């Protein structure tokens, strides 16, 4: 197995995963999308809501706010030994905003105050509702640790996908330049003896095969490498991209060892 | 995760794996098929949202439970390898 990181920022990553099977790559992708638990608001006790939005609507909007999560400090609610929610699987946040008389005020995700300073809205500038002068929104929100397969608000990875690394072979080229013109992503260029793949452009190939169609003498072939994948992922902010990858792999490992343990007890 | 054995013979097993999906089962199937003693490894979900997946393994005589355990261990090793390589790449 080999990993080559192309880009890594706080919220997104792009890397080449090679010498693995599609089953593992797909498992990793599915895990990041649906099986890495995160915190999201699940219950809201509204004390005062004189805004224009219904209570339900406010609750839904709050639920979709990504919360910074520490993976090891919380247990997913459905696996917790409690039934009604306890400090191990839930955390309480409060929000209290009132617009001054005669002024408008927008309630932002950053107005949520949690009991644990490490848990807060991943982005503080998500608008929740706009209040007119004198309107008030006071509530307590209970965030629970849950899984993306139950609701999108618990999804940690939001744009995770991969494609196979392209393989372009050129043999017996007659320098007609048709493939260079046909390529929509400017991957090919004319070399001295044959058309060539431009340095560093190979990964941009979308395997559209327009170059193959354009070539009159079948000198070019485009295929995919079955064991190398270009992974692209984005985190919703609950974890950094790096943590998301690590947490996803840890989740798979836990599942596999749980299965092994259960079978061992049979 | 909860297992319910539907059928078990010396060389085959049919087991319901509650709460799991393609994520784990497809990887498991892949590692089982790498085992030369495994003839058939597959799973089925009758209904995408209401059924629990049923996993089926048939071997050439090897204990099918042991075959699944071996596959799970291989998967764990693959995860360990990933973590190791990923951390080394970052360092």
CA-based nearest residue to A111, from A132, A126, A133 = A126
Residue A187: which CATH number? 3.30.1360.10
- 8 Å CB contact of B73 and A27: no
Polymer length of chain B = 91
Residue A250 counted as domain residue = no
Q: Which of A123, A153, A183 is the last residue before a domain boundary?
A: A153
Neighbours of A151 (CB within 10 A): 13
Measure the CA–CA gap between A235 and A12, rounded to whole angstroms. 6
Picking from A9, A24, A247 by the largest number of B CB atoms within 10 A of its own CB, the best residue to mutate is A24
**Which residues from chain B sit within 8 angstroms of residue A264, using beta carbons?**
69
Q: Which domain holds residue A212?
A: 2-34+158-233
Do A176 and A216 lie in a common domain? Answer: yes
Give bridge partners of residue B12 from the DSSP assignment: B58
CA-based nearest residue to A166, from A229, A98, A108 = A229
Tell me the angle at which helices A241-264 and B64-90 cross, rounded to the nearest 10 degrees: 160
Do A136 and A228 lie in a common domain? Answer: no
Q: Are A85 and A30 in contact (CB under 8 A)?
A: no
Residue A255 counted as domain residue = no
- 8 Å CB contact of A1 and B20: no
DSSP single-letter state for residue A226: E
- Whether CATH 3.30.1360.10 fits B2-90: yes
Residue A82: which CATH number? 2.170.120.12
For B30, the closest of A21, A35, A264 (CB atoms) is A21
For B86, the closest of A3, A253, A260 (CB atoms) is A3
Residue A107 counted as domain residue = yes
A113-114: strand order across its sheet: A38-49, A136-146, A90-98, A113-114
CA-based nearest residue to A44, from A28, A56, A32, A30 = A56
Residue A260 counted as domain residue = no
Q: Which residue of B has its CA nearest to A147?
A: B19
Residue A174 counted as domain residue = yes
Residue A252 counted as domain residue = no
pTM: 0.91
Measure the CA–CA gap between A154 and A151, rounded to whole angstroms. 6
Number of domains in chain A: 2
Do A143 and A61 lie in a common domain? Answer: yes
Measure the CA–CA gap between A249 and A233, rounded to whole angstroms. 14
- ipTM value for the complex: 0.95
Q: How many angstroms separate the Cα of A39 from the Cα of each of A12, A66, A147, A195, A250?
A: 19, 8, 9, 52, 17
Q: Which of A153, A185, A214 is the last residue before a domain boundary?
A: A153
Do A133 and A207 lie in a common domain? Answer: no
Residue A170 counted as domain residue = yes
pLDDT tens for chain A, residues 1 to 266? 999 999 999 999 999 999 999 999 999 999 999 999 999 999 999 999 999 999 999 999 999 999 999 888 899 998 999 988 899 999 999 999 999 999 999 999 999 999 888 899 999 999 999 999 999 999 999 999 999 999 999 999 999 999 999 999 999 898 988 999 999 999 999 988 889 999 889 999 999 999 999 998 999 999 999 999 999 999 999 999 999 999 999 999 999 999 999 999 98
Q: Which of A128, A153, A178 is the last residue before a domain boundary?
A: A153
Residue A245 counted as domain residue = no
DSSP single-letter state for residue A67: B
């Amino acid at each position: 197995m080999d990993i080559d990181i192309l880009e890594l920022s706080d919220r997104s990553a792009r890397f080449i995963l090679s010498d693995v099977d599609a089953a593992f790559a797909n498992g990793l992708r599915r895990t990041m999308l649906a099986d890495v638990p995160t915190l999201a608001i699940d219950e809201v006790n509204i004390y005062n809501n004189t805004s224009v939005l219904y209570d339900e609507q406010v609750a839904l909007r709050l639920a979709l706010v990504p919360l910074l999560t520490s993976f090891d400090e919380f247990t997913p609610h459905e696996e917790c030994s409690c039934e009604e929610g306890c400090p191990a699987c839930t955390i309480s946040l409060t929000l209290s905003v009132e617009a001054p008389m005669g002024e408008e005020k927008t309630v932002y995700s950053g107005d949520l105050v949690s009991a644990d300073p490490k848990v807060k809205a991943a982005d503080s500038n998500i608008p929740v509702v706009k209040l007119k002068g004198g309107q008030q929104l006071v509530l307590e929100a209970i965030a629970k640790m849950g899984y993306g397969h139950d609701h999108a608000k618990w999804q940690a990875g939001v744009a995770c996908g991969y494609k196979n690394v392209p393989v372009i072979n050129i043999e017996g080229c007659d320098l007609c330049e048709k493939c260079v013109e046909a390529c929509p992503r400017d991957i090919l260029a004319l070399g001295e003896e044959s058309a060539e793949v431009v340095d560093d452009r190979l990964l941009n190939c979308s395997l559209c095969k327009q170059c193959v169609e354009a070539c009159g003498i079948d000198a070019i072939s485009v295929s995919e490498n079955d064991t190398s994948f270009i992974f692209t992922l984005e985190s919703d902010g609950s974890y950094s991209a790096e943590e998301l990858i690590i947490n996803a792999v840890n989740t798979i490992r836990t599942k596999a060892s749980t299965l092994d343990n259960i079978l061992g007890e049979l | 995760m909860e297992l319910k054995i539907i059928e078990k013979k010396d060389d085959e097993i049919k087991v319901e794996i509650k709460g799991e999906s393609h994520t784990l089962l497809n990887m498991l199937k892949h590692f089982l098929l790498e085992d030369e003693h495994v003839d058939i490894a597959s799973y089925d979900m009758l209904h995408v949202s209401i059924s629990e997946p049923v996993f089926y393994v048939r071997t050439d005589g090897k204990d099918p439970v042991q075959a699944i355990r071996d596959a799970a261990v291989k998967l764990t090793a693959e995860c360990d390898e990933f973590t190791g390589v990923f951390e080394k790449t970052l360092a």
